[in-house]
Every structure is written in C-alpha cells, then in structure tokens.
Amino acid sequence: MKNILHILRAERRWSQATLAEKLDVSRQSVNAIETGKYDPSLPLAFRIARLFEMPIEEIFEDENDDL
C-alpha cells in the first residue's frame, strides 16, 4: 500500500526513530511501512492518522480501490 508517511515525517523533520517512538512501534516498522512493503494494522493506521491529524485515506493510498 502506497503512503506519504515519509513526506509527512520529513515535513516535521522527524527521524524514523522519532516517529517510531511517537507511534510506540519499532523503527523497523516505520521503515517497512514507508517503503510500502508492510501494511500497518488498522489500529496502527488510526494512530498514524491521529498523529498527523489527517484522514487515513489521505495518508494511505489503496492501489486496488476499484470498489
């Protein structure tokens, strides 16, 4: 799943470790999500959305949104 997490993080000049700490996950989690290789769980996606004060669908782009 594509996302703009790295852009949002860069805008705030946060490192992956800083973002990981704010989300209470590992730095590896942040890295895997940013590269689009790992899709976060729904609770984590909500935490990310709340942290950046944006709707989930503005951060994550569903590549199969035919429905």
29/37 Cα distance (integer angstroms): 10
Task: Give the nearer residue to another protein in terms of CB position, either 13 or 37.
Answer: 37
Nearer to another protein, 21 or 49 (CB): 21
CB 8 within 8 A of CB 38: no
Q: Kind and range of the H or E element at 15?
A: none
Pick 63 or 66: Cβ nearer another protein: 63
Query: Nearest distance from residue 67's CB to another protein, in Å?
Result: 25
Q: Which residues bind another protein (CB under 8 A)?
A: 17, 20-29, 31-33, 35, 37-38, 40-41, 44
Q: How far apart (Å, rounded) are the C-alpha atoms in residues 19 and 8?
A: 10
